[in-house]
Amino acid sequence: MREFNDLLVWLRFRNSLTALPQGTANFGFATQGGSVYIGSYRSPERRILASSLTTFTDEAKIALDTLSGRATGLFSPSLRLGVTGLSRAGKTVFISAFVHNLIHGGRLPLFAAQKSGRIARAFLEEQPDDAVPRFQYEDHVAALVNDRLWPDSTRAISELRLTIEYESASGWSRMFSSGKLSVDIVDYPGEWLLDLPLLGKSYADFSREAFEMAALPVRADLSKEWRALSAAVDPNADADEMTARRLADSFAAYLKACKLDERALSTLPPGRFLMPGDLEGSPALTFAPLPGLSERRARSGSLQAMMERRYEAYKTYVVKPFFREHITRLDRQIVVIDALQALNAGPGAMADLERAVTEILACFRPGRGNFLTDFFSRRIDRILVAATKADHLHHESHDRLQAIVRRLADRAVARANFTGADVDVVALAAVRATREGTVKQGRETLPVIIGTPLKDEKINGETFDGKTETAIFPGDLPDKIDAVFDVSGPDHRQSPDHRQSNDDPAIRFVRFRPPKLERTAEGVTLSLPHIRLDRALQFLIGDRLA
Ligand SMILES: Nc1nc2c(ncn2[C@@H]2O[C@H](COP(=O)(O)OP(=O)(O)OP(=O)(O)O)[C@@H](O)[C@H]2O)c(=O)[nH]1
Ligand SMILES: [Mg+2]
């Protein structure tokens, strides 16, 4: 490990992006009592998920798709890996690093097939689904490797087929295995997945819950305009396109504001209001919840009837096909989370992240009492919850981060009443943008991370130029895990005076540029460096290469 005596060292994390004062090596999450708690939203309809595709045709279609998928799999073994997570969590970088390391024979000591030299080659092949956009692997890798820039945000679903030729570990397996596995990697927004609970909700239920959530103290200010606009309309008035549009725009603006909020509030449905994909402006997206609805049938021709019809269209034309065509065909799933951002924002944001992970896991829970839904949903047998971007921490904190994610996942599994698949966790960096070093401060030796902060990143008033390497003291994660979770439980509601004040803005991490890749004497670029990516690979596909 190198020592950096002359570099400026920065202490980051809450409240104190300042040059390192002596003796402040620890920061306390426990002192963040003033953080946001988003309240007790619990979908009463979680149980509906898989089993809520109520019509026989839906189930029959799914079963047929599943059967044909399996039949094809018999001839050319394939594994369908879903990669999801909320926006900016790190999905695209994860997939790029996953593929790059396999194609370029990266250093993967925890990935048994690679370690024992049984992988002959890995290469990209044409993907099986013609109607799904291809994951633009080459563009993403060019950005990472040549330009040292992070890939652009990807706002829809995409897919890539990676084929691995390998030799089985045992002679017995060698006799029966084809020595070839195709991994179909499907990148899709977690926001779309969180739409699945809508399938079991009527428009009146959806409206009521949306207003309940919007009125919680933590969201009340963000939803004020939309609620005021809604209060002024009469659901029973004649349907009017302009009113529908104004309400939909205002509702979408509120959902977007939640997403951008410094309190790191996670997503509320409908997911396409945040990421419309190619549906922008379509009637299926031009609706909004209405206040004070009774269970009575809406008058035909009324605003309520129009909104209700569009809500049902959203379920029929957006949510169901997505579930049927993509989710039910997955074999394995990784859920990428940005736990560091949530940790940085305080226990309220952690609770919110836990709620999102709970709902995501609930989407993969096998259906109950229905043989068709049981049949397809049992396909996902492994789920990995991965906290990425661990390269923002010194390695001494990696195990702590993993322990925090384990606690979060355990709580989510318990709350979602989840069974049916192995759930594991990992703290990783798909692309490691930093190195480690130590800095001497008087008699103290401090562990630091060293990297090139992105152009225009700021620390304490200093703006970086995107070229200068800097050593940063990353702080320690607390060893007492309880401190990062709000112990007051999910029914505790945040009152406005408990919010972080504006003069205590959420601290953003300093973002580093992707690393400079070393080249061999022959000019060949080595694979992207990572932290524990191999552990993720072993869990997700290792057994299929045994
Ligand atoms: N240091 C570091 N930063 C990362 C890593 N993975 C992701 N990031 C950062 O997180 C940002 C988002 O990563 P993406 O992979 O684009 O996230 P995404 O989930 O695909 O985001 P959307 O496409 O917008 O949904 C990147 O631009 C990087 O700044 C990592 O392994 N290490
Ligand atoms: Mg992406």
Q: What is the pLDDT of residues 57-107, one digit of tens each?
A: 555 655 555 555 555 444 568 999 999 998 889 999 999 999 999 999 989
- The amino acid sitting at 337 is I
CATH of 74-194+326-431+529-542, one of 3.30.230.10, 1.20.1090.10, 3.40.50.10490, 3.40.50.300: 3.40.50.300
Class of residue 81 by CB neighbours under 10 A (exposed 0-12, middle 13-18, buried 19+): buried
- Higher-confidence residue of 487 and 527: namely 527
What does the pLDDT read at residue 113?
94
Ligand 1 atom nearest the C-alpha of 531 is 31
SS3 (DSSP) at 429 = strand
Q: Whose CA is nearest to atom 3 of ligand 1?
A: 389
- Higher-confidence residue of 67 and 474: namely 474
In whole angstroms, give the CA distance from residue 300 to residue 315: 20
Q: Whose CA is nearest to atom 24 of ligand 1?
A: 153
Residue 186, both tokens: 């499907």
What does the pLDDT read at residue 11?
41
Q: Is 80 exceeded by the pLDDT of residue 493?
A: no
Binning pLDDT at 50, 70 and 90, where does residue 45 land? very low
Binning pLDDT at 50, 70 and 90, where does residue 238 land? very high
- Tell me the sheet residues that pair with 158: 187
Q: Is 70 exceeded by the pLDDT of residue 258?
A: yes
In whole angstroms, give the CA distance from residue 447 to residue 473: 7
Share of the chain above pLDDT 90, in %: 43
In whole angstroms, give the CA distance from residue 178 to residue 168: 9
Binning pLDDT at 50, 70 and 90, where does residue 373 land? very low
Binning pLDDT at 50, 70 and 90, where does residue 304 land? very high
| Domain boundaries, given as residue ranges, for the chain | 74-194+326-431+529-542, 196-322
Binning pLDDT at 50, 70 and 90, where does residue 355 land? confident
SS3 (DSSP) at 138 = helix
Q: Is 70 exceeded by the pLDDT of residue 492?
A: no
Binning pLDDT at 50, 70 and 90, where does residue 22 land? very low
- The amino acid sitting at 105 is G
Distance 86 CA to ligand 2 centre (A): 9
What does the pLDDT read at residue 59?
57
What does the pLDDT read at residue 50?
33
Identify which ligand lies nearest to the alpha carbon of 336: 1
- Tell me the sheet residues that pair with 309: none
Q: What is the mean predicted confidence (pLDDT) over 388-412? A: 91
Q: Whose CA is nearest to atom 26 of ligand 1?
A: 150
Distance 364 CA to ligand 2 centre (A): 21
Residues enclosing ligand 1, CB less than 6 A?
Answer: 85, 87-93, 150-151, 153-154, 189, 388-389, 391, 429-431, 433, 511-512
Ligand 1 atom nearest the C-alpha of 451 is 1
Distance 338 CA to ligand 2 centre (A): 13
Q: How far is CA 386 from CA 76, 409, 453, in A?
A: 29, 10, 24
Q: What is the mean predicted confidence (pLDDT) over 299-313? A: 95
Q: Minimal CA–CA distance to 213: which of 319, 338, 363, 355?
A: 355
Least confidently predicted of 216-230, 327-341, 464-478: 464-478
Neighbours of 22 (CB within 10 A): 10
- Higher-confidence residue of 66 and 208: namely 208
What does the pLDDT read at residue 252?
94
Least confidently predicted of 35-49, 308-322, 427-441: 35-49
In whole angstroms, give the CA distance from residue 160 to residue 171: 31
Ligand 1 atom nearest the C-alpha of 338 is 10
Neighbours of 131 (CB within 10 A): 6
Least confidently predicted of 100-114, 151-165, 272-286, 392-406: 272-286
Residue 94, both tokens: 């994860």
Q: Whose CA is nearest to atom 32 of ligand 1?
A: 389
In whole angstroms, give the CA distance from residue 532 to residue 390: 9
Distance 533 CA to ligand 2 centre (A): 18
Q: Is 70 exceeded by the pLDDT of residue 52?
A: no
Q: Is 60 exceeded by the pLDDT of residue 497?
A: no
Residue 21, both tokens: 């004062």
Binning pLDDT at 50, 70 and 90, where does residue 142 land? very high
179: left (phi over 0), alpha (psi -120 to 50) or beta: left
Q: Is 50 exceeded by the pLDDT of residue 10?
A: no
DSSP-derived secondary structure letter, 299: P
Q: Is 50 exceeded by the pLDDT of residue 177?
A: yes
Residues flanking ion ligand 2, Cβ below 5 Å: 91-92, 154
